[in-house]
Structure 1
């Protein structure tokens, strides 16, 4: 009974929920249900989801969200935003998704963390995208739990940033993705140059554009 009350009484801020295909990062091509939260703690100049930046009043309880997700056959749920970790009750939704057998991916800027996810962090695919607007800061718990680092290649990104001490373990394990900003040619070329430079130093990174945009998906 208590668990039911928590699900129906806990509200989150949802921008939209819809079926799609993961178009970014190491899980590219995976059929998924995308849950986009409303509200972000950062303001990146090239953000491609400006409608999801501002914080609004909570508009959906956990049962509402689970009911919407259950409409679709996909079993992989991508929690994105906005910034998912800006939702204080994020862990409650994740507990419910895991208990129902979903795989859960969180796309985060890496600056925030929810300590109540500590015990299930290994079950999650956390995609962290460090941002120049906070000088590439990533919360230590995100660094411990992330399965990949995805860098948007823009005018700010440099090889020096990629080789920060905090990020070297990901370089060494080939878990870094370079994503050209807005799929612009100049940033694709920059990504390829960075990739070649790192290859000469013994590091392999992947260059992956936003493929959902290339094929006309949201």
Structure 2
């Protein structure tokens, strides 16, 4: 019963988060409106913030009281989906001061990380089901082993070639702005490794 209750609360939180993001206006428009769409978005944002505060402060606070801080951090190292969900909820809570300061770009960046991280928590529930549990274990083993090692080698090559291309094209851009700045060069080379280049 506790498992199903937590799953239902997680689904409500994810639906509220998705609605809050889906109803956001384009960047040209402001985030403070009085139309029906804005009111629905405010309701979804309030529900999302309420869920984030209850998870971080109350639920995790009880666990920290019961286990101690070091025990809690050690338990997070064995449960990556919960650690990522905790990070996502902290990022959602950080969106509030940036909304009040009207820093939409920073708020958007926080949400870009928080949204997939929140959905990743469903892996925790899938691991407890007999049908999907072995696949979750297999994916964790692949992430910790093979993909982690590949990522280290991939990043070494990507960062090395990013510096080379950035300095090679510095001052010789012509019509292309693909290598104009270091972050844009990094993103262009990342796209090239996926096959998106002329």
Q: Please indicate, yes or no, whether the TM-score normalized by the shorter chain is above 0.5.
A: no
Greater strand fraction, Structure 1 or Structure 2: 1
Question: Which TM-score tier does this pair reach, normalised by the shorter chain?
Answer: under 0.3
**What is the TM-score of this pair, normalised by structure 2?**
0.24
Give the structure with the larger helix fraction. Answer: 2
TM-score (norm 1): 0.23
Bigger radius of gyration among the two: 2
